[in-house]
Amino acid sequence: DAGVTQSPTHLIKTRGQQVTLRCSPKSGHDTVSWYQQALGQGPQFIFQYYEEEERQRGNFPDRFSGHQFPNYSSELNVNALLLGDSALYLCASSSLLAGGPWNEQFFGPGTRLTVL
Amino acid sequence: AQRVTQPEKLLSVFKGAPVELKCNYSYSGSPELFWYVQYSRQRLQLLLRHISRESIKGFTADLNKGETSFHLKKPFAQEEDSAMYYCALTSGNQFYFGTGTSLTVIP
């Protein structure tokens, strides 16, 4: 099991563009959460998906949207990119049945997004 | 509102010395608290959670509701403990990380 995988590793976009980041959860996990980590900061919760629906959402604008597929993989989409969206985007997976979505989150390596 | 505060960005201790990483939280309900750790060139991973009351790699953390703290402690620091440590809290429908403390254990 490769654990949580994310693609791409790095991405460079310009202001106003749109971006899609991808995440495959750890085998056996059904819940995916996304985080934004700016330089020198802790991860900030964006949203969480379970059963292909957004279940929880942090304090992020509607420009941030997501999707979960039947195989539990997930995408994070960001529209109308701003310079401030430059960050490391982390995906975490967990099992709702094994103690709940927050009980133990397994993190991916992240996607580094740079907006120019 | 800041939910989790880690007052020290950097902390250095000598090998064999006790170490305490501070974490204070603000939440009116009954939070669940965690410590996550990120070793160099590795992924963020769970170290321990308060509901388990467990000791992992010699680390313990006690939830003090009166002081709203969840400090991480280890009696004898090892070089392999050098890492970035994040305190985290869930309110049930949100998850909050602190800004992290970078621990360096000096040989």
Residue numbers in B near A92 (CB within 8 A): 44
Q: What is the pLDDT along chain B (107 residues), one digit of tens a residue?
A: 658 999 999 999 999 999 999 999 998 778 899 999 999 999 999 999 988 777 789 999 988 888 999 999 999 999 999 999 999 999 888 899 999 999 999 99
pLDDT in tens, A42-53: 999 999 999 999
Q: Which residue has the tokens 């990380």?
A: B97
Residues of chain B contacting residue A109, judged by C-beta atoms under 8 Å apart? 43
**Strand A111-115 to strand A10-13: parallel, antiparallel, or no bridges (unpaired)?**
parallel
What is the rounded CA–CA span in Å between residue A25 and residue A49? 11
φ, ψ of residue A84 in degrees (nearest 5): -70, -10
Show the domains of chain B with their CATH numbers: 4-106 (2.60.40.10)
| Lookup: tokens for B26 | 């603000």
Q: CA separation (Å) from A27 to A3, A55, A71, A101, B101?
A: 7, 20, 10, 15, 31
Report the chain A residue with the minimal C-alpha distance to residue B93. A56
Give chain B positions within 8 Å (CB) of A105: 46, 95
> Which of B86, B95, B99 shows the shortest C-beta gap to A33?
B95
Name the residue among A20, A21, A25, A18 with its Cα closest to residue A2: A25
Q: State the Cα torsion A22-A28-A30-A33 to the nearest 10°.
A: -50
Please state whether beta strands B32-38 and B45-49 pair in parallel, antiparallel, or not at all (unpaired). antiparallel
pLDDT tens-digit series, residues A70-104:
999 999 999 999 999 999 999 999 998 877 788 88
Average pLDDT value for residue range A5-33 = 97
From A33, A40, A108, residue closest to B43, measured CB to CB: A108
Tokens matching residue B30: 């009954």
Each domain of chain A, given as residue ranges in start order, spans 5-115
Nearest chain A residue to B49 by CA: give it.
Answer: A103
Asked whether the beta carbons of A74 and A25 are under 8 A apart, the reply is: yes
Provide the 3-class DSSP secondary structure of residue B78.
coil
- Gap between the Cα atoms of A56 and A38, Å rounded: 21
CB nearest to B45's CB, from A44, A56, A107: A107
Using CA atoms, how far apart are residues B96 and A33, in angstroms rounded to an integer?
A: 12
Question: Is A43's CB within 8 Å of B98's CB?
Answer: no
Under CATH, what is the fold of the domain A5-115? Immunoglobulin-like (2.60.40)
Contact A5/A69 with Cβ under 8 angstroms?
no
DSSP-assigned beta bridge partners for residue B14:
B106
